[in-house]
Amino acid sequence: MTRGTVLLTGGAGYIGSHTAVELLGAGWDVVVVDDFSNSSPVALERVAQVATGPSAGHLRWHRLDIADTAGLTSVLADEAVDAVVHFAGLKAVGESVAQPLRYYTVNVAGSASLLRAMDATGVRRLVFSSSCTVYGDPERVPIDETAARGASNPYGRTKLVVEDMLMDLAAADDGWQLLALRYFNPVGAHASGRLGEDPEGIPNNLMPYIMQVAAGRHPFVRVFGDDYPTPDGTGIRDYIHVVDLALGHVAALESSDDLPGFTAVNLGTGRGSSVLEVIAAASRAVGRDVPYQVVERRPGDVAATWAEPALAEKLLGWRATRTLDEMAADHWRWQSRNPQGYAGEGAGPPTPPA
Ligand code: UFG
């Protein structure tokens, strides 16, 4: 007897694959749809290997673009889906400035396509991957869910528009249960070392870049400014272990029956760490100093953001427990065992499990 069937869009990606493992472990049957445009089927093979246990659910997957409303409608009906977690989307800030139409098409029109398919099949429970980016340059820290929303780039605006779309849907029809989870800075990897983040090209984000420096792929970490009004002068973020984040989705699905309408919840630790603190944690994990140099500030960066995570504990009964040292150790285990990410294995198309 499983808990039900949950569809994950973008379930082969970084956060999706970790969430699939935790949902399977909690007894959910998981159906992934992914177009593998920025992810690998190998991740799903590994999800199936890692997620074991007496009550683990079953994993199935379909190669599908979320723009394909008819295809999604068939999957929702044929797989008897009870709830959806919507990860699929584009997420690079710089790219969104250069290619805004692509971002609006994939993130906004893609979400509308999914919601139309859900509406057509009577699936009314959705957990949406939102981001702390919807707070723009925050008016105060820690940031709680009542803070004003805003965005300073097209990527952020697509997240705002999708949240607005969900609010409008909830206002029009009280049958929907729509939860937007606003992620802070996800880092780390599955403790097995089998699953992790596999960024395309040179990573923009701090932790994957640090790990590539540690692996010898770049000479040093560029610290973007040490003249911010923070204790050591470097930027402060709320880094959250991807497995804690994944468990937040399990908690969200299991609480969503009690949360009709639209609800937005922060997923963060409530603790901020500076760039130098992250480099120090990574150096401990790697066992030697990771070299860095301070360079100019990166345009668009804010000095400090971290979450007020109390609402997640109250509504979902969830809080993050993993430390920055665990994030760094797990990220390094993944990086050092998979120097080419998923590309080191199984280039062929996937064979869905029976
Ligand atoms: N940083 C460096 N060097 C690097 C990369 C980052 O010093 O090579 C610093 C940044 O200046 C910042 C911190 O490390 O202070 C974290 O930077 P990330 O790029 O890892 O994360 P951001 O907080 O800038 O970005 C994240 C998400 C985005 C989201 C944004 C705003 O990755 O998707 O938060 O919410 F839009």
Condensed to tens digits (0 to 9), the pLDDT of residues 221-241 reads: 999 999 999 999 999 999 999
Looking at residue 116, its pLDDT comes to 98
* 107 in Cβ contact with 89 (< 8 Å): yes
Structural domain includes residue 352: no
Give the CATH number, domain containing residue 263: 3.40.50.720
Structural domain includes residue 301: yes
- Give the dihedral of Cα atoms 265, 251, 189, 32; nearest 10 deg: -100
How does strand 177-183 pair with strand 185-187? unpaired
Structural domain includes residue 51: yes
- The residue whose C-alpha atom lies closest to atom 12 belonging to ligand 1 is 235
Question: What parts of the chain have a pLDDT lower than 70?
Answer: 1, 345-354
Catalytic residue among 155, 183, 228, 342: 155
Structural domain includes residue 350: no
Domain count along the chain: 1
Structural domain includes residue 199: yes
DSSP class of residue 84?
A: E
Domain region containing 188: 5-345
Structural domain includes residue 354: no
Binding-site residues, ligand 1, Cβ < 6 A: 91, 93, 131-133, 155-156, 185, 204-206, 209, 221-224, 235, 237, 275, 298, 301
Structural domain includes residue 129: yes
From CA 232, how far away is CA 228, in angstroms rounded? 8
| Atom number of ligand 1 nearest to Cα 155 | 36
Question: Token pair 């779309």 is at which residue?
Answer: 165
User: Whole-model pTM?
Assistant: 0.96
- The residue whose C-alpha atom lies closest to atom 7 belonging to ligand 1 is 223
How does strand 292-295 pair with strand 177-183? unpaired
Ligand 1 center from residue 183 Cα (angstroms): 13
Among 186, 62, 159, 34, which Cα is nearest to 104's? 159
36: left (phi over 0), alpha (psi -120 to 50) or beta: left
Looking at residue 258, its pLDDT comes to 87
Q: Which residue blocks in the chain are alpha helix, DSSP H? A: 14-25, 41-50, 69-78, 93-98, 100-103, 110-121, 154-172, 206-214, 242-255, 275-286, 310-316, 324-337
Digit-coded pLDDT (tens) for 22-39: 999 999 999 999 999 999
- 155 catalytic? Reply is yes
* 311 in Cβ contact with 263 (< 8 Å): no
Cβ neighbors of 86 (< 8 A, separation 6 or more) are 9, 10, 111, 114, 126, 127, 128, 129
Looking at residue 349, its pLDDT comes to 43
Ligand 1 center from residue 236 Cα (angstroms): 9
- The residue whose C-alpha atom lies closest to atom 15 belonging to ligand 1 is 235
Q: What do you get for the CA distance between the two ends of the chain, in Å?
A: 18
DSSP class of residue 146?
A: T
Handedness of CA 144, 148, 153, 157 (dihedral sign): positive
Ligand 1 center from residue 163 Cα (angstroms): 22
Where b means 16+ CB within 10 Å and e means fewer, 26-64 reads bbbbbbbbbbbebbbbbbbbbbbebbeeeebbebbbbeb
Among 190, 193, 189, 198, which Cα is nearest to 13's? 198
Cα angle 272-275-276, degrees, rounded to a multiple of 5: 110
Cβ burial of 348 (10 Å; 0-12, 13-18, 19+) is exposed
Ligand 1 center from residue 184 Cα (angstroms): 10
* 280 in Cβ contact with 214 (< 8 Å): no
Ligand 1 center from residue 338 Cα (angstroms): 23
Looking at residue 1, its pLDDT comes to 61
| Atom number of ligand 1 nearest to Cα 134 | 35
Handedness of CA 248, 107, 258, 17 (dihedral sign): negative
From CA 27, how far away is CA 94, in angstroms rounded? 38
Structural domain includes residue 309: yes
